Structure 1
Amino acid sequence: MEGCQTGEIPLTLLASLNYVGQTISTHPTLAWFVPDSEPFDLEFRLYEYGLDGNLKQVGNEILLKSSPGIMTLSPIEPDTPGLSVGKKHLWQVTIICNPNDPSQDLLAAAQFRVVDKPLTFSRNIENLTNLEKVDFYAQEGLWYDALSEALKLSEDSKLGDVGSVLLESLAKWEEPEATQQLTSEQREEIEHYIQNLRQIAISEK
């Protein structure tokens, strides 16, 4: 069985790799880029960091079929209590390219933290347009919320104009600071990631 034909851009989560992203949503929407046009089995897992730093899986893994372009998922059912404010989570997407050879799997992971609503937040935000919400969330550093609103303005499997601009801003934000304690391998990984984000911002607009 042939594996994934990944092309120039690999499986990429639309999230920060260099920092822990933030969201005020206890039922966040997560998004990623799939390079392969052929559908493959896809596994999504969500974990919570315990006080000891160990990971505990939240719920069961979610099984999907991959589709090319931008995929989104809200892993927490809307009628459930949701995630706890203050907790840090790790989310992971795995594409099973060849069931007989796990070494061919494509895997990507990122972290986020559920935070309190900012002091500038008010119930009046529901009266804002999606575009105004994107601006508000982005200014508050709430990446996941900004992206979720931006994707509401786009066609299926695409970023749209607003999402593309937002992804460009994430690429700039990802640039490591000189004072960051990173190995040369980590810096190289982040640089590749930034290039991928910029390419996705153009190709999936």
Structure 2
Amino acid sequence: MGLIHGMPLAALAQEFVPPQRGLPGRRVGGGTRGGCIAGQTALTALMPESNLSLTVSERPDLFWYLPPNTAAQLEFTLLDANDQEVYKTTFQPDETGGIMSLPNPTDLPALEIGLDYHWYFAVICNEQDRSADVVTEGWIQRIEPDTALTQQLETATASDRPALYAAAGIWQDALMTLATLRQSQPHDADVARAWTVLLESVNLGHLADQPVVPCRSNRHHGAIAPESF
């Protein structure tokens, strides 16, 4: 079990503090019945209720809960601070549903520090009628970690890092690092508890038992601005 100053990973995971400011967005993608979405739980972005996630990563992974579905495909779009499209990709859904991540290609330019990036994630039910899409949207901003956090991360173990990020209010990296631990240590009770506590801290505890599922394929579209992600 990871320890930081004598405290367990699961306890420190509760210390996530969301950004002080919020931005307009849509964490939950509408109804759960009809169309191509099934089940009792809606499409949900794993982000704070402020709709803004902070990261220190150049190319962070984003996460959603995707319900059981018969979607034609999924689409992710990223806009820069000037509302210009800098990236778009479509890929095939996992029909059984679960928590899925969108790893961004490593050959793309990094997120710029201090800029707000606006993203949209759409479940395309009918490619001929995009008005039937089920959509979530939110924001992500890359920040520079302060000196104290940087020094702590340099000596932290993989089990310590999620709690450090959570305590610093850096949601995306807390989620990314803890998701990695959850997949590599699926039977570790402390990791499972920390995952639950982190999701509960943003009122997403009902998703804690959902499996993490991979993207099946990834097709990149559109140009990437040289100064943007």
Q: What's the RMSD between the two structures over aligned residues?
A: 2.5
1:129, distance to aligned residue in structure 2 (A):
2.3
1:131 partner SS? coil
Q: Shift in Å at residue 198 of structure 1? A: 2.9
1:116 is aligned, of 106, 125, 144, to: 144
1:198 aligns with 2:205: yes
What's the offset of the Cα at 1:19? 4.6
> 1:184 is matched with which residue?
none
- 2:92 is equivalent to residue 65 of structure 1: yes
**Residues paired across the two proteins, number:** 172
Matching residue of 2:135: 107
Deviation sequence 1:44-85 (CA, Å, 0-9, x none): 1111112xxxx11123x111111210111122x324440100
User: How far apart, CA to CA, are the structure 1 residues paired with 2:51 and 2:127?
Assistant: 32
Shift of 1:37: 4.5
Q: 1:40 to 1:131 in 2, by over 3 A?
A: farther
- What residue in structure 2 maps to residue 23 of structure 1? 55
CA distance in 1, matches of 2:66, 2:92: 11
Q: How does 1:70-89 map to 2 (within 5 A)?
A: 70-75=99-104, 77-89=105-117
SS in 2 for 1:147: helix
SS in 2 for 1:107: strand
Q: TM-score, normalised by structure 2?
A: 0.67
CA shift, 1:28, in A, is 0.8
What residue ranges of structure 1 are gaps of 5+ in the alignment?
172-196
What letter corresponds to residue 199 of structure 1 in structure 2?
H
Bigger relative contact order (CA 8 A; separation at least 6) = 2
Quote the Cα distance in structure 2 between the aligned partners of 1:6 and 1:145.
Answer: 30
**What is the Cα deviation at residue 169 of structure 1?**
1.0
Identity of aligned residues (%): 28
User: What is the CA distance between 1:16 and its match in structure 2?
Assistant: 2.0
Q: Scaled by the length of structure 1, what TM-score is found?
A: 0.74
Question: Is 1:149 matched with 2:177?
Answer: yes
Distance (Å, rounded) in 1 between the aligned partners of 2:90 and 2:197: 30
Q: CA deviation at 1:200?
A: 1.2
Cα 1:36–1:143, aligned 2, differ >3 Å: closer, same or farther?
same
Residue 128 (structure 1) aligned with residue 160 (structure 2): no
Q: In the alignment, which of 140, 165, 186 is matched to residue 197 of structure 2?
A: 165
Please say if residues 153 and 160 of structure 1, whose CA atoms lie closer than 8 Å, have aligned partners that are also in contact.
Answer: no
- Which residue identity lines up with residue 71 of structure 1 in the other structure? M
1:34: Cα distance to partner?
0.2
The residue aligned with 1:13 is 45
Give distance in 2, aligned partners of 1:145 and 1:35. 24
Whole-angstrom CA distance in 1 between matches of 2:41 and 2:107: 36
Provide closer, same or farther for how the CA distance between residues 48 and 150 of structure 1 changes in structure 2, counting only shifts above 3 A: same
1:177 is aligned to: none
Structure 1 window deviating more from structure 2 (123-132 vs 62-71): it is 123-132
Distance 2:126 2:151 in 1: 48
1:87-141 deviation per Cα after TM superposition (whole angstroms, max 9, x unaligned): 0011111011122332221100111211111221235624422221001000000
